[in-house]
Chains A and B, each alone.
Chain A
Amino acid sequence: MSMKNIENNNETYRPLIVAFCCNWCSYAGADLAGNNRLAYPADVKIIRVPCSCRVNPTFILRAFQRGADGVIICGCHPGDCHYTSGNYYTRRRMSLMFSMLDYLGIERERTRVEWVSAAEGAKFAATMNDFCETVAKLGKNKRLEDLRCKQ
């Protein structure tokens, strides 16, 4: 492959980002970003969940295995969970899961948890812009897709 081709590839590469958003805050925050026309890349695809604590780490692994390049979970700020304590459990589960992925050599920048309230449309857009940029720099996610493949 010539240098030119590689450059072209880099230019056209767009990461695939799956965002799990809590219905009560981050999803509403995403709506607010829309209302205020705060742009972020179309790479972000949102899945609505009732609470960040509904996000099974299996969903994250599945997204990666099916080709996602980055997964972000957005929930209410600690202390503000609509269900009082859901995001505290999310925080523990994701801390351990992300640390495990890191331990397996998967780039830790591909996973993120961010607390975004319904009022933080600007934060939502800024978070997504930043996350897309970070993941785009890492390039295509190969490691989780191929974690156990036999050559």
Chain B
Amino acid sequence: MQRIGVFVCHCGTNIAGTVDVAAVSESLGKEQGVVFSTHYQYMCSQAGQDIIKNAIAEYKLTGIVVCSCSPRMHETTFRKTAAAAGINPYMVEIANIREQCSWVHKDTISGTEKAIILGKAAVAKVNLNAPLTPGETPVTKRALVIGGGIAGIQTALDIADAGFPVDIVEKKPTIGGKMAQLDKTFPTLDCAACILTPKMVDVAQNDKIRIFSYSEVTSVKGFVGNFDVTIKRKARYVKEDVCTGCGACTEKCPQKKVPNEFNLGMDNRRAIYIPFAQAVPKVATIDPDYCMMLKTGKCGVCSKVCTAGAIDYKAKDEYVEEKYGAIVVATGFNPISMDKFDEFAYSQSKDVITSLEFERLTNAAGPTQGKLLRPSDGEHPHTIVFVQCVGSRCDSCSEKGKEYCSKICCMYTAKHAMLTRDKYPDTDVYVFYIDVRTPGKNFDEFYRRAVEEYGVHYIKGMVGKVSPEGKKLMVQASDLIAGKQLHIEADLVVLAAAIEPDKSARPLATMLTASMDTNDFFTEAHPKLRPVESPTAGVFLSGACQGPKDIPETVSQAGAAAAKVIGLLCKDKLTGNPCVAHSDEMMCNGCSTCEKVCPYGAITYVDKEFRMPDRTTRVRRVAQVNEAVCQGCGCCTVACPSGAMDLKGFAGKQIMAEVDAICR
């Protein structure tokens, strides 16, 4: 049985002007469990708080009801007051008789009546309150960054800079990601490698950072502050710590016909390879799909030429288990496949390429050493058509493309067009667009330069068809502004392919219990206010895995994610919100319904042995709430068919009691 004290605040005349506070105090004094009731001018003042503290001591109060302003205003104040006087802060309930009563009702009679009813509801709730203590969990002071592109690199560097160890897991043999494949970067046109590779070196040289390249995360268990992660280190058949990266093996390997993915298959590499000159770690990797030694057991050239003795044909996949306090997802993006866009003849002609392929063609380290040459015959193209929004901004019923805007294409196409005109002024460059979208610092100026200074022909309209005819590509398009059909004889067609999240993101999201949207982009905890956090506590988002982004945006998000991680790792212990869900194991059916609606993955199921009333033991599957992860929304409590799940602080019984008090 509770001993409840009721404290009605006048709030000067804010409440007392409309509500008869003495009547409220008197009426609530008669409620069940109430042993003391009073009113005072300003309850939140020191003098008011002293009244509460003294009453707690004098009347041995176990629960407090304050009829005052909104709990959003002073709930914390009165909880502290209660705690200072020695009772649990969660034994305090506020009846909001200012914002939701005296300020909106003019009439004293109905205002007072309502204030009494709100007070009664609060008393009814406190009668069922139980002391709550927030849980504490320790924090493992190490972060995991999944993905080694510019997003992952920046996040890792920032976290390491704050003094915390970081591991980067990258599925490719080197870090660097998409940015390593780019030529120049908009809007300043500095070369991607010049600004990226120093950062890659920083990562390699930072003793707080470990790189697990050619590796994948295979399992994530645990929760914020305490993740247990298994990382698969794929066999690269080269001892990472022995290889010097001299490259002798990659020159001597007899298997020369392996499509080079770094150049998007536009040239070939060997079966043993280093993706590019500035790779980090600069270590060779054997491609098991092409290596004759691994496939047939006959060859072994690389082993013979390796003076360091780094080749190990018998290597196996290895698994590393590590604990982390925070996880950053930076899995990035890929251009979508052009297979379904046959109208642009991508599969029919080598001279129809994607923008990323164009990047490689203009890159000094690319297959043409940076000379813009047609892939089909190596000749210099004189007419180039760029097609924007290929697979972006499609309507929702389209099976080919994406509904969203890929965001980066307008700017990189302007860059491509500008660079082409700059280097090869004899080239005619056409850009077909739906809209040109250039919000961003110095972005629109950049685009206008392409049009005004470099004479790029921007045409509003879509390309309907590209048909290869002899050495030419016949481009049929509409000019919406002039209202006419165009036929252009082009030498090269460049498609600005939409971008999509990397395919590894979906299984990773499942492992992390992080949510995703229908496009497989990771969902942020709040679209405006918590843009770098996933709804799952301890999981953070960096870069294009959360939505299409350019480099400046990616780097700022990467830094923001790092700041959030540092904020988390700085803490020795995490204090939870005590108003969390709790499952009554004796009533739980083990049906998994609650698990499905939990936005935080806070609910897991275990098989547990129970002693039943008939003295038998039975193993039952029951839900368990991880209090460190639960945020207390209460969705599970309603989803639970058996009523086993309840929410502390907002228990079903408490809310029912409020309903009853109001409807009495």
Q: Which residues of A contact B (CB under 8 A)?
A: 14, 16, 18, 23, 27-28, 30-35, 37-42, 45-51, 53-59, 62-63, 66-68, 79-80, 82-86, 89, 93, 125
Contact call A63/B663, Cβ cutoff below 8 A: yes
Q: Give the complex CA separation of A80 and B525 in angstroms.
A: 10
**Is B190's CB within 8 Å of the partner chain A?**
no
B121 partner, pick from A41, A47, A62, beta carbons under 8 A: A47
Residues on B with beta carbons closer than 8 Å to the beta carbon of A67 = 663
**Is B476's CB within 8 Å of the partner chain A?**
no
User: Nearest chain B CB to A127's CB is how many angstroms away?
Assistant: 13
Residues on A with beta carbons closer than 8 Å to the beta carbon of B111 = 42
Can you give 19 contacting A-B residue pairs, CB < 8 Å? Answer: A23-B72, A27-B70, A28-B72, A39-B105, A40-B104, A50-B579, A53-B634, A54-B634, A54-B638, A54-B650, A58-B652, A58-B656, A68-B662, A83-B631, A84-B523, A85-B515, A86-B634, A86-B635, A89-B597
Contact call A62/B659, Cβ cutoff below 8 A: yes
Contact call B599/A84, Cβ cutoff below 8 A: yes
| Most chain A CB within a 10 A radius of its CB, from B71, B633, B656 | B633
Q: A18-B662, A30-B100, A59-B659 are in contact. Are A42 and B105 (CB under 8 A)?
A: yes
Residues on B with beta carbons closer than 8 Å to the beta carbon of A51 = 633-635
User: Nearest chain B CB to A37's CB is how many angstroms away?
Assistant: 6
Q: Give the complex CA separation of A39 and B638 in angstroms.
A: 33
Contact call A34/B639, Cβ cutoff below 8 A: no
A interface footprint on B90-107 (CB within 8 Å = 1, 0 otherwise): 000000101111011111
B104 partner, pick from A37, A57, A58, beta carbons under 8 A: A37
**Is B222's CB within 8 Å of the partner chain A?**
no
Chain B interface bracket (under 10, 10 to 19, 20 to 34, 35 or more): 35 or more
A55 partner, pick from B114, B121, B526, B638, beta carbons under 8 A: B638
Residues on B with beta carbons closer than 8 Å to the beta carbon of A85 = 515, 597, 599, 635
Q: Which residues of B contact A (CB under 8 A)?
A: 70-73, 96, 98-101, 103-107, 110-111, 113-114, 117-118, 121, 515, 523, 525-527, 535, 579, 597, 599, 631-635, 637-639, 647, 650, 652, 655-656, 658-660, 662-664
Residues on A with beta carbons closer than 8 Å to the beta carbon of B113 = 42
Residues on B with beta carbons closer than 8 Å to the beta carbon of A49 = 634, 650, 655
Residues on B with beta carbons closer than 8 Å to the beta carbon of A53 = 597, 633-635, 638
B72 partner, pick from A31, A57, A125, beta carbons under 8 A: A31
User: Nearest chain B CB to A26's CB is how many angstroms away?
Assistant: 11
Q: Which residue of B lies closest to A55 (CB)?
A: B638
| Most chain A CB within a 10 A radius of its CB, from B104, B114, B525, B579 | B104
Contact call B663/A18, Cβ cutoff below 8 A: yes
Contact call A30/B99, Cβ cutoff below 8 A: yes
